Structure 1
């Protein structure tokens, strides 16, 4: 019998062991095409694939730059593999937080999904809706959110969702399996820790972890409302951008530490942008809707971002009065009265919850309670200032830029990432579940040519040196240097406003005398 030398036997055995270890490592960590119905291992635990959605309220894509947001810049410029980026996406009208977050999770425009604005009056229920209102009756007729669709389709014991402060997730009777109530004091650092502590970590079975996690961050929007988006940047604004960037970076670092990147898809988005309104472009609500008109002819009115939404049984009379008052005001020509948003402006908003009359300002103008510098949104959803963010990273995505799209399409993308195709189904696997190597290219169409844009406008609003300008228009200018914080108003502008208010009051007295 031929016997192999002991050294050769040991060498062969070592090769076999090393090959097995290599294959084991690859099976655990190397992407082999994304399969939403498969189980994956991070080396210690099994997981079903996870889709993590990070919403940055009010974050305009032109805020990304190499200097202020280095990690987001890295993603936006495709320096991370498996990253798909839209130059921007288009929100729904009105470009407000609640209707757009509900459009994202329902795939329907606000007039279809039932959450028509941040504030509205429901005639049949005789109830008012506003941010934070979780009255089940007001939400009962709203469209089904994606967490309900998926948990019902797969049954909650095989598919679970989590929503961390997502608008609408706290409503009794339609909450996801896991949810965290809104808390405006939570820091971005606490949020990133909470996402993993509450939904990912721990010795749980794969079916006990959520496969869809939606996390909402209000910080960009809150800052914008108070100060606008200053360009060039002030220290406080640059600090905010750094914190947002660190938040996203920490989430990716946490996935890396847990060896989860090969089965986790991350979608970073925003609901709308932000426009800064100087104090001299603000009309006070009482200037165009005085007490006598309100008392006699208006049932309810709301400041819907920069616009004024009015509910009235006497629409013709109120419309005429509003037009007359705007004609007498210096900046009145920048405000437009309409009773038919869809017909006159092409906005997809109608239905019984929609206000009867709207006073719509041009961008950088607003109706408000106080005349001061402010940041706001709710304008024409196609305005450059209202653009929203979209970056997707993970094994389901192909590296490259994609055509801009409307945010209602994100719902379909999230369904596809979860393995739900077009009809409810039971269990795993199923012919309705997307197969391995699936890439969600139905929605994400490769970008054919750079967007044609007004670069001067974008630079004036958001500052020079944005990643958007660098990528799509070959701009090489660096981000503006930080400048000192500025007073929101100087004395001369305040004095001018006081004089203006007095003149308006005198004009109103004169008209009343007549």
Structure 2
């Protein structure tokens, strides 16, 4: 879908002439003649699964769900890692169309490595394909804000959100909530139309202790308390009946053990390849050795994993048509780790991991909505994460950028 060139030019020119304060960008004023829409907030709780809610006392999640609509589960994109999935939620694109192929990877054209922990990469728009929903909104006169979201630090067509924050895990969760509530306050300085909010600690505990651990349960209860605090802040700001909230996660979590390990260095010579990524999806770029030779060695030993040439990847993965994706893809079965003997001896394996096939139930994730645009006290069927961009565009009454999603696939959440 294409925007009118004149309109784009007007918004871009207006944005560029505003004075930028630290981590703040100008936003063209909304035309009062345009039709109004309720504001929208997308909250991500990294690594949250339905079963975490079901097995714990979570009164605030329960209230949120009962007053809105919960999907049976959400299907993430492949690979089921944090950065690819958050960027697909933001852009409505599959990974092969936005290029964030993992949390960390090397780009041979840019001659640089992308890493989720490196601020320079977060600010560099060359890494980030597609157009995130907050930029789509800003282009069309809406005010957007981000209190953390992968990619929100970068600039697109000269635009960012009106307010955004560099990721800093030490910022208290209550501070994030207070800031977002203030930015959405209709009496406040910003009066946001769209925003994002992100929490990582459920995922961290899942990695450290495994998805079935009491530590994960405690993290889920803590998140439930924060959700209750957030709803109180909305009440105080008079937003409880006005804000459309999309509560999502990016992936599930699977148990791992040291009994389920694939030693790739016992199958191929690692001196012959570059390992773009390791586990549970090994992305392999042969060096001087022929691709077929490496692939055939892996294929002959195919046990507890599947191996594909890039151009033979099943279409359902949407993971072949991008130059960053290397020639060979090796996908571990759920619960298995791909490593080498030295790394295993030094580090072992973490108790919980994601990244596996996105159609494995352990990778399915949480999705629920609540607000004036949505039905109440209903459960809907599964939803694919690439459709959320279209849903938000519809709620904000803006024209979406080109994407892989479909509004028809998320209409079941909306009131008639």
| Aligned equivalent of 1:306, options 280, 287, 291 | 280
Shift in alpha-carbon separation, 1:240–1:84, aligned structure 2, 3 A: same
Tell me by how many angstroms 1:215 deviates. Answer: 0.7
Shift in alpha-carbon separation, 1:423–1:138, aligned structure 2, 3 A: closer
Shift in alpha-carbon separation, 1:376–1:442, aligned structure 2, 3 A: closer
Native 8 Å contact 1:341 1:349 kept in 2: no
Native 8 Å contact 2:40 2:244 kept in 1: yes
Tell me by how many angstroms 1:108 deviates. Answer: 0.8
Shift in alpha-carbon separation, 1:413–1:191, aligned structure 2, 3 A: same
Find the residue that maps to 1:280 and give its secondary structure: coil
Partner of 2:358: 381
Partner of 1:37: 35
| Aligned equivalent of 1:124, options 88, 95, 109 | 109
User: Are residue 186 (structure 1) and residue 171 (structure 2) matched?
Assistant: yes
Structure-1 separation of matches of 2:55 and 2:362? 21
Find the residue that maps to 1:261 and give its secondary structure: coil
User: Are residue 444 (structure 1) and residue 415 (structure 2) matched?
Assistant: no
Tell me by how many angstroms 1:178 deviates. Answer: 0.8
Native 8 Å contact 1:282 1:366 kept in 2: yes
User: Are residue 337 (structure 1) and residue 307 (structure 2) matched?
Assistant: yes
Structure-1 separation of matches of 2:108 and 2:381? 40
Native 8 Å contact 2:206 2:216 kept in 1: no
User: Are residue 418 (structure 1) and residue 396 (structure 2) matched?
Assistant: yes
User: Are residue 107 (structure 1) and residue 92 (structure 2) matched?
Assistant: yes
| Aligned equivalent of 2:259, options 263, 280, 295 | 280
| Aligned equivalent of 1:321, options 282, 297, 301 | 297
Structure 2 residues without counterparts, runs of 5 or longer: 1-33
Native 8 Å contact 1:68 1:241 kept in 2: no
Native 8 Å contact 1:129 1:138 kept in 2: no
Which residues in structure 2 correspond to 1:62-81 (within 5 Å)?
A: 62-65=51-54, 67-76=56-65, 78=66, 80=67
| Aligned equivalent of 1:163, options 146, 160, 166 | 146
Structure-2 separation of matches of 1:175 and 1:55? 19
Structure 1 residues without counterparts, runs of 5 or longer: 1-35, 39-47, 425-439, 448-514
Find the residue that maps to 1:346 and give its secondary structure: helix
User: Are residue 224 (structure 1) and residue 224 (structure 2) matched?
Assistant: no
Native 8 Å contact 1:342 1:349 kept in 2: no
| Aligned equivalent of 2:220, options 241, 256, 267 | 241
Partner of 2:75: 90
Structure-2 separation of matches of 1:341 and 1:253? 51
Tell me by how many angstroms 1:423 deviates. Answer: 7.9
Shift in alpha-carbon separation, 1:181–1:341, aligned structure 2, 3 A: farther
RMSD: 2.6
Structure-2 separation of matches of 1:353 and 1:139? 13
Find the residue that maps to 2:73 and give its secondary structure: coil
Tell me by how many angstroms 1:95 deviates. Answer: 0.9
Shift in alpha-carbon separation, 1:253–1:387, aligned structure 2, 3 A: same
Shift in alpha-carbon separation, 1:104–1:342, aligned structure 2, 3 A: farther
User: Are residue 403 (structure 1) and residue 381 (structure 2) matched?
Assistant: yes
User: Are residue 356 (structure 1) and residue 327 (structure 2) matched?
Assistant: yes
Partner of 2:25: none
Partner of 2:22: none
| Aligned equivalent of 2:140, options 147, 153, 160 | 153
Tell me by how many angstroms 1:84 deviates. Answer: 1.6
Which residues in structure 2 correspond to 1:208-219 (within 5 Å)?
A: 208-219=190-201
Find the residue that maps to 1:209 and give its secondary structure: coil
Tell me by how many angstroms 1:339 deviates. Answer: 1.2
Native 8 Å contact 2:146 2:163 kept in 1: yes
Find the residue that maps to 2:317 and give its secondary structure: coil
Residues 96-115 of structure 1: CA deviation (Å, up to 9, x unaligned) = 11111111111110101121
Paired residue total: 363
User: Are residue 393 (structure 1) and residue 370 (structure 2) matched?
Assistant: yes
Native 8 Å contact 2:77 2:88 kept in 1: yes
TM-score, with length taken from structure 2: 0.80
| Aligned equivalent of 2:40, options 51, 68, 80 | 51
Shift in alpha-carbon separation, 1:251–1:151, aligned structure 2, 3 A: same
